[in-house]
Structures are given as C-alpha cells and as structure tokens.
Amino acid sequence: MRGYAGKCLEIDLSGGDFKEIRFPDGVLRDYIGGRGLAAKVLWDRFGGRWEEVDPMGQENLLTVLTGPLTGYYPGARLSISGKSPQCNGIVGSTIGSEVCIELKTAGYDGLFVSGRAEKPVYLWVTDEGAEIRDASNVWGKGAIEFLKHINRVGREDLEKKHPRKREWKEPQSVYIGPAGERLSRIAAVTGKYTHASGYGGYGAVMGSKNLKAVVVKGTGPLPEVADPPRVYELMQEICDLCFVNDMRRRWGTGYLGHDVGFRLSSEPIRNWQEEWHDERSFGVDKFEERVWVKRYWAEFGCPTSCLKVATPRAGKYVGSISDNPDYELQAYLGTNLGIFHPEDNVHLSALVDDLGLCGIQTGNVLGFAGELYQRGILTEEDLGFELNWGDTDAFARLIEMIVHRRGVGDILAEGTHLASLKLGEMKGVDLSEYAITAKGIGLGAHGIRSGEDYTGNISYCCSVQGGDHTSISCLPIDHGNSELTTALHDSGVYCMFNTYPPGTRDRLWEFFTAVRGWEMDRERWYATDARRIIDIQRAALLIGGPDLGWKPRLDDKNPERFYDPLPTGPWAGKAPKIEAVNAEVREYYDQMGWDENGIPTSNELRRLGLGTVDKKLNEIR
Amino acid sequence: MRFMSKIEKPFWIMRDYVKCSGCRRCEIACSLHHEGRIWPEASRVRVFMLVPGVEVPHLCAQCGDHPCVESCPVDALSVDPEMKNIIVDREKCTACGNCVEACPGRIPHIHPTEDYALICDLCGGDPECVKVCHEGRWDCLYIAKRETTYQYRLYAKRPEEVTKELAVMIYGEKGKEVI
C-alpha cells in the first residue's frame, strides 16, 4: 500500500518506552489513516472494556495521525483522536498544521501516545526517532510564548546536532495552552497561534498526560505513491478547480458571518435565542477593511487559502492576533454573545486561541452562561461582575475564569453539557433547555430551523461526533455532506474545503487509487468501509462511560430549543416538526443497518467483520 | 506563460513577503522539478514560518558579488553567464558547507541525503516556483528584468532577520514580542 511512510510510533510516557508499529496492508486498506485508523486502534485496544477507560486516565491513547493523501491532496491536515472527554466516544478531530508533513517526511505515519509523564514534557520527533523532553519551563505558557520558545530551541538543537549544514527551518508543533493543562474538557489541541483541533476535547487528554506539545522536524521526501504522474496531474487539477472558487479564496468562511446570519438565518445569536441578524457591522467587508493584515493564508499545498491573518490596528484590542476569524468563531465569539464588532471578535478569538480553548465549545458555554445571566439564574454575585450580551470585556473575564478554573469558571470549564447538569443541581432548576449540545458536544454554528443551511433536521441527532458541524448525519447516507463522506476526508486526512468546488469530488476516488495503488470505489466506501468506521464510533458512543452515557434512540435528538419557532427574520415562525425529525431518524437507522433503537444490528456488524463490536453491543441490546 | 515570456533574460525573482500565503506550493513545484519528489527540505526555495502569519520564502538572492562562489574551496560553484544564477557542480561539491556560512542569508543548504549544496538555478530560465505562485494569484514570487543595482544583495538575509522586521510590519508593536 503506497502513500504511507510505513510505520507509526507508540510512546508510553509513563515508562518512557518507544515502540514502532507497522500496520498490515489489510488494516490500512480498510481504515485508511487518520480518523478511521484511530477508531480501529482504539476499539481493538479498549473495546472490550470501553466503559472503564478514563479519557483523562493514563491508559487513554492520544492518536496523532496523517493519512495516505496528506501532503498530496491539496490542503494538508493532521488528525487528532483518542477516547473523548466530551462524549466518552471517539471523535476524529483535525487541525490545519504542517506537523503532518513533518511526520511523513520524518518517516512516520503517526504517533500513539499513552501513559502519563511525571512532569511536563514535550515530544521531539525527527528522522532519527523520538525523544521525551522537559517542558517545565513552558508549562502554563500560551501559544505565542510557547512557539517563540520552541522555535528558537528547536532550531538551535538542529543546528548543533545535525550533520548537514543549513539554515534550519522551524520544527512544526501542535501544543496545548493552560486550558488543556488544567484539564478543561473544552480545551483544544492547537497550532500556528490560531488553529485548533477542538471537537472531542483532546487538549485535556494531552494535559492529563502532562504532554505540552508534539514537535516534529523531518527532512525526507513524502512517501512514494503508486502512480506519481497521475497523482501530480490530479493535484494540479484539484488546484485549478479550487482557484476559481473565488468567494472562498477571497473571504474564507468569513463571508458567512453576515450571509448565514442574514440570508440563511441559521447563525447562533445570544445562545441561539435567535438565528437571524442584519448587522452590517459584521459583514466580511468590515473584517477585510478593518482587521485583515494578510488576505491569503494557507496550509501546506492549499490553493484556497481560506484563512486570513487579522489584528486590530486601532482601539483597545491592538495586539490581539487571530485568523479571519473564520465563520465558526465569528459566530460563537461574536453573534452568539451579542457581539457585532470585528475588533472585539478578533480579541476574544485571540484570547481562546492563545489559552488553548476550543473557540466553538467556549462560545457555546459562554452563550449558555450569558443566557443564564439574562434570565437571572446566574447572578452578579455568582460571577463577580455583570455579564450582559455584547460586553466583550466581561466575556473575556469569564474566559480567564474558565481557563484558570476560578469560581463558576471551574464548572463552565467542563463544557456546556456537564455545566448545565452541575449548575442545574446547584440552582435547583432544569437548565437543559439552555444547553445547545448533542451528545455532550456543543453544536457547530449552523442551525436547522430555517431549513436554508446545509444542516438539516437530523444533522446533529445521529452524528457519531455529536455537535460537530463537519461530521453530520444526513439522508441519503452517501450524500456529499454526510459524515460517511467526512470520514473519508478525515481518514485520508486532507482539508474537506478543497472537495467543495465542482469537479473535485469526482476525482477523489481516483486520487486514492493513484496514491495507494489499490482500486478504491465509491460504492464500496459507502457500503462497507465508511460503515466500519462509523459503526465503531457509534458503538463507543453508546457504550460510553465512565462518566458520560448516551441512551440509544432517546439521546438521538436535537436540542430542545430547536423546536421553538424562530422568533425573527425571514423565516420567523419556522421550526422542524418533531414527527418529521423522528421519521428521518428512523430512516437513517434503516439506511445505516441499525435497529429501531439505533444500535447497529448483528447481521450488519458481522457483514462488516466487526465481531467484537457486535459482542460488546449485546450489553445494551 | 505570457507575462514571463515578455521579461528579458537575465531576470531576477522578486519577492513580496507579505503576499506569501505559506502554501508551500513553491516547495512542492521546486522539489518535483529538481528531485522528482515532493521534498520540502530538498527544495531550493524554502518557506520559513518562525512566526505564524509571517511566512518568509527563502531562496537565492542572486546577488552580484557571489560570496558563495568565492568561498568554495573546490571551485564547485560558478555563475551562469546568461542567467547569472549559481551553478553547483555536484561532482566537485564536497558538501563542506562553506557557501552556507559565506552567504549573508545562509541561503545555500546541503541536500538532505546527497553530498552537494542546493542553490536556486532559476530552473534554467523558467522558474517553477514563480509559475505556481502566479497561478494562485499570490505573486509573492515574480520575475523582473535584472537591472544594474546593488539592491538584490539586500535580500540575502537570514530568515530570522526578515521575520523580525516583517512581524512588526504585520503585527505592529506586538510583533516585537513574538520572536
């Protein structure tokens, strides 16, 4: 099987041991890499006693993986997974980072990290292998300070030890901030100041292992592919198709800040109490004119450069550095908090990025807190200050409290789902209607009520990644937006945005074939390979544990609020009908080969060769 | 490519750092052309990212005084009479690294696995990096007629030095703290 470096490295931080892992061709063929391979390895290792494995315990396995298409398909990404502290299932998260390129050029397809170091450490990986290095002096530091340090000492080390003379490029890193160190379940694995692998809460997993960062420098070529001329042609064809995708190139996802709020009416506003706004102050033109200092910013090989670099040039937030912010953070650290000014949005994004929080989960829990304050459930006494919609500095204070786990911040650091349970108990009220989550994970910033967005009735109901807006359940299951499709991108590990321009998806299957040298076809993927990955994730979610669990069928639901009619905008009065949602859920179960409770059937699992999953699921059938 | 054919030889690869998206398509194109593989560290142009958002493509400045050529103990480096780029004689080169140190920008680098120095050769007059940078409309790298000026030499700077200056231009005061 081509496209792979051929080996992975497992590092046990407790014992300081390293072990090379080589996967048989059959495993790589079926599970590809990234999200798929992570699901396979996690289930093989823990499936029999899934409920006992503590995501923040020593034994949890953090997976840092590339895929065969990483570096070849335009727009490289890195996959991060493990048992998730947010849902107790498996979330295949990804981050835009050149760590994936460094890993493959150092000769590794990925890393598996288990155990727990006695003191803070980081992993240093080069062509010569891996080392566990002391990170005491950067523990507690934010992204900017960390990268400043690691890029300097990393380059000095390479200069000193490497036999081949050169000006050394910086090693590439993914790291955690204080939020992950303090085991916040909404902590992300972060990189490049502004990039994050947020869904799943793997920042906390790294923190629980005392692992500050993974720092990699490779000097070799990318692994060989099966049909080089065709792969290089396909790369050019994909780039050519993306080059004409001018809207996304020029404005990134930033254009959605006004578009989703105004036209589609599906943007979270003040904790989803509304989904429509006509604030001209939040159009992408304002971001472009006021805060963007670099208009095209990209990951390795990317023709689209949907990212932009932003920093306020005037006002009190000068010195904050963020990307666009992209649509998700425009929404969650903007409209969802009643904030409609680019500089304020950049400031909050920069804050969560530097401290290592997931912008989506943080915006979700801040909105939740904001609504509790609005309704007098959380008070000034609880918080120590007023928390009015649109008050950027107040929300910034609350972010600091979450990161440092001070006061009510300690509860909010657990994420919206658990915070709603704990605060509800403290206050003696049911707060679930204010928690906009699915299976423990705060929803992405695309609502379903207007029916105009790409998200639909059951997007979040049956997703094996809960609220993840990039991995949604939809009908038919082989739809381009379906999580069976996302699982392909996240297992080949490249950016799904470069599969949006017309013509790109037609080339995907051939791309896989040309890289791997094994005939890949659409039918097989949706009928078999994707199902294996999704069914393993589904089983892990339904088994759950140790502290979160999801009931079959009953928890395949939308947040309660999504059944309240939209109060404002062109689709005011609109909301999904619960009967229609339930019918679609049942249809989804059917198409997936799941029973009436959403549990994959024995027949289906046996067909897929997932006997251990079948056996384990007997416990809840 | 029309815009390139109009430029007289010899030409110079101009660089406009702030336009660099950090996509590294130049590294991909360069290493494919010279090595037949995607090999960022064997690319003659390498994009440094000492500070995220402040990407610096680092490639031969095509200076007029050629300290690298002078530093070579085995006469492995020479200047192409037509294009004025540096030619590395792989047979003669011993990978001693003198040229790396002689260049004020430490731009030459030793091939990751072979024993010779890597220096941009302008792809013989049709630079691949410029093509891919132009097709993406970034135009961070583009070609310009070579004039009689001392200016080119100013681009032979170490990435760290460029980054320190660019970081201030991009991030303002904050840029002083990031590197």
DSSP class per residue in A209-277: TTEEEEEEE--SPPPP-SSHHHHHHHHHHHHHHHHT-HHHHHHGGGGHHHIIIIII----BTTTTB---
| Closest partner CB to B179 (pick from A148, A228, A299) | A148
The CATH number given to whatever domain includes residue B128 is: 3.30.70.20
Beta pairing, strands A93-95 & A110-114: unpaired
Residue among B24, B49, B158 whose CB faces A301 most closely: B24
Tokens standing for residue A276 = 């429509």
| Cβ within 8 Å, pair B106-A105 | no
Residue B8 has a pLDDT of: 82
From CA A88, how far away is CA A325, in angstroms rounded?
29
Looking at the complex, does the CB of residue B171 fall below 8 Å from at least one CB of chain A? yes
As beta bridge partners, residue A79 has A65, A94
Residues of A in contact with B25 (CB under 8 A): 239, 301, 303
pLDDT in tens, A322-332: 999 999 999 99
List of residues 6+ apart from A357 with CB closer than 8 A: A177, A179, A184, A186, A187, A188, A203, A399, A402, A403
Mutate to test the interface with B, among A194, A249, A309 (most CBs of B within 10 A): A309
B97: chain A residues, CB-CB within 8 Å: 165
For chain A, state the CA radius of gyration: 23
pLDDT band (50, 70, 90) for residue A77 = very high
Interface test with A, best of B23, B72, B118, B139 (most A CBs within 10 A): B23
Distance CA(A458)–CA(A585), nearest Å, equals 7
Choose among A239, A296, A318: nearest Cβ to B172: A318
B window 61-90, beta carbon within 8 A of A: none
Please give the average per-residue pLDDT across A264-282, as a whole number.
95
Minimal Cα–Cα distance from B144 to chain A, Å?
A: 23
CB spacing of A309 vs B177 below 8 angstroms:
no
Is B3 a residue whose pLDDT tops 80? no
Residues 6+ apart with CB under 8 A from A183: A56, A204, A207, A208
Examine the pLDDT at B150 and tell me if it is beyond 90.
no
Helix axes A416-427, A359-374, angle to 10 degrees: 20
* Interface residue B25 vs chain A (CB under 8 A): yes
Mean of all residue pLDDT scores within chain B: 94
Q: What is the mean pLDDT of residues A482-498?
A: 98
B38-96 pLDDT, tens per residue? Answer: 999 999 999 999 999 999 999 999 999 999 999 999 999 999 999 999 999 999 999 99
Contact B106 A167 (CB under 8 A): yes
Cα torsion angle, A557, A560, A564, A567, sign: negative
Strands A121-126, A211-217: pairing is parallel
Residue B5 pLDDT class (50, 70, 90 cuts): low
Contact A332, A445 (CB under 8 A): yes
Per-residue pLDDT of A83-108, as tens digits, reads: 999 999 999 999 999 999 999 999 99
Both tokens of A263, joined, read: 């036209």
**How many Å apart are CA A265 and CA A358, to the nearest integer?**
24
Q: Between A105, A296, A311, which is nearest B171 by CB?
A: A311
What pLDDT, in 10s, does the model give residues A520-566? 999 999 999 999 999 999 999 999 999 999 999 999 999 999 999 99
Closest C-alpha to A422, from A411, A433, A432, A413: A411
| Interatomic CA distance for residues A446 and A469, integer angstroms | 7
pLDDT score, position B2: 47
User: What CATH code is assigned to A8-217?
Assistant: 3.60.9.10
The ipTM estimated for the assembled molecules is 0.97
Residue % of chain B over a pLDDT of 70: 97
B141 touches chain A (CB under 8 A): no
Helix (H, G, I), strand (E, B) or coil at A362: helix
Cβ distance A164 to B109 less than 8 Å, yes or no, reads: yes
Task: Tell me, yes or no, if the pTM score tops 0.90.
Answer: yes
CB spacing of A319 vs B158 below 8 angstroms: no
- Which domain, by its residues, includes B72? 2-176
Separation in Å, CA of B143 to nearest CA in chain A: 20
Asked whether residue A495 carries a pLDDT value surpassing 50, the answer given is yes
Q: Is B170 on the interface with A (CB under 8 A)?
A: yes
Domain coordinates of chain A in residue numbers? 8-217
Query: Looking at the 3D structure of chain B, how many domains does it have?
Result: 1
Partner A, chain B 111-130, Cβ-Cβ below 8 Å: 111-113
Please report the pLDDT score of residue B4 as a whole number. Answer: 58
Q: How many CB pairs under 8 A join A and B?
A: 131
